[in-house]
Amino acid sequence: MLKRLFACCLMLFAWPAHAALNVFACEPEWAALARELGGDRVSTYEATTALQDPHRIQARPSLIARARTADLVVCTGADLEVGWLPMVLRQAANPNVQPGRPGYFEAASFVPLLEVPERLDRAEGDVHPRGNPHIQLDPRNLSRVAEALAARMGELDGANRAHYQARLADFRSRWQAAIARWEQQGAPLRGMPVAVHHKVFTYLFHWLGLKEVAVLEPKPGIEPSAAHLAAVLEDLKRQPARMVLRASYQDERASQWLAERAGIPAVALPATVGGTPEARDLMGLFDDILNRLLAAQGRR
């Protein structure tokens, strides 16, 4: 009885800590991950939707206002948000979430980056000096980020550290099982040659073993031109691809044009949570990606 009363007292004192940790997530996948790890102890704000190109966001007043009250800003980093986040953070006048502070979390710092350019020159298009920033499509990266994010959330919100660690353990066991399942499902995709609109699926291919044989953008971040598409079509005659992939936020016309002429399917994949109606959460995101790839391959 006394123990229960004591517990009640503890809960009463702990009440202020229950006020949710305010998370400003640059992309929906990090909001979803923060919710997986925080449950009802976090309130998340998604700065962008899955139908927006995270490279090209305007530093809108609403983003500045939300960053002002955030306890934790969770972004991809690796210069993905370089066109808008620095402006948002500077205008938000919130010292806790400035780069270098515990309230600023860059997911890309916790995973090995692919496609680190050897030559830094704008003639190469919109290159990212630290490497390809679209890290979220390799689920193994998400478990690495989850570990670091749970630790950071515990650092900022010490009262709930055990809660975040418990949820992390639960998430990791579910996630490992899911990865094993996805890898089994995705086995027939290994070695499949594909064309992509933008190099947004590099980590997905690295994980599942797909082969990227053509890119529709002439240079990263530069929209496909008619001349370049014609050249890609010629290339595909010599080195055929099984399908043309694009993120659901990208314009469909370029991949449709190519798909029709090459006689292969054009497939829109969710690049993040919310990219398709089926990609409701992180599990749904990878389920849907695999379903769509296998369906286009003719296996479903």
Partner 1 sequence: MFLRHCIAGGLLAALPALTWAADADIAALRAEIEALRNQYEARIAALEARLAQAEQSRAAAPAQPAPVNTATAFNPAMSLILSGTYANLSQDPASWRLDGFVPSGGEAGPPPRSFSLGESELMLAANIDPYLRGEFMLAAAPDNSVAVENAYLQTLALPQGLTLKAGRFYSGIGYINEQHPHAWDFVDAPLAQQAFLGGQYAQDGVQLKWLAPTETFLELAAELGRGHNFPGADRNKNGVGAWSLGLRAGGDLGTSHAWLAGLSYLHTRARDRRFEAEDVSGNSVSNAFEGRSNLWLASLVWKWAPGGNPAYRNFKFQTEYYRSREQGSLTYDLDGTALTDGFRSVQSGWYAQGVYQFMPRWRVGVRYDRLTAGTVDAGANSGQLPILAPYDPHRTSVMVDYSPSEYSRFRLQFARDSARRDATDNQIFLQYVLSLGAHGAHAF
Residues in contact with partner 1 by CB under 8 A are 48-49, 51-53, 55-62, 64-66, 68-69, 82-88, 90-95, 98, 100, 108-113, 116, 122, 125-126, 130-131, 140, 144, 221-223, 249, 251
H or E element at residue 230: helix 226-238
CB 249 to partner 1: min, Å: 6
- Closest listed residue to residue 79, CA positions, set 106, 52, 117: 106
Asked whether the beta carbons of 43 and 34 are under 8 A apart, the reply is: no
CB 288 to partner 1: min, Å: 19
Considering the complex, state which of residue 22 and residue 287 has its C-beta at the smaller distance from partner 1: 22
Considering the complex, state which of residue 33 and residue 213 has its C-beta at the smaller distance from partner 1: 33
CB 180 to partner 1: min, Å: 14
CB 129 to partner 1: min, Å: 8
H or E element at residue 43: strand 42-46
Asked whether the beta carbons of 255 and 249 are under 8 A apart, the reply is: no
**From CA 122, how far away is CA 219, in angstroms rounded?**
10
Name 105's bridge partners: 74
Considering the complex, state which of residue 46 and residue 287 has its C-beta at the smaller distance from partner 1: 46
Asked whether the beta carbons of 134 and 201 are under 8 A apart, the reply is: yes
- Closest listed residue to residue 24, CA positions, set 50, 42, 40, 47: 47
Considering the complex, state which of residue 7 and residue 116 has its C-beta at the smaller distance from partner 1: 116
**From CA 290, how far away is CA 287, in angstroms rounded?**
5
CB 3 to partner 1: min, Å: 39
Considering the complex, state which of residue 117 and residue 193 has its C-beta at the smaller distance from partner 1: 117
- Closest listed residue to residue 271, CA positions, set 142, 170, 155, 135: 135
CB 170 to partner 1: min, Å: 20
Considering the complex, state which of residue 196 and residue 241 has its C-beta at the smaller distance from partner 1: 196
**From CA 79, how far away is CA 127, in angstroms rounded?**
9
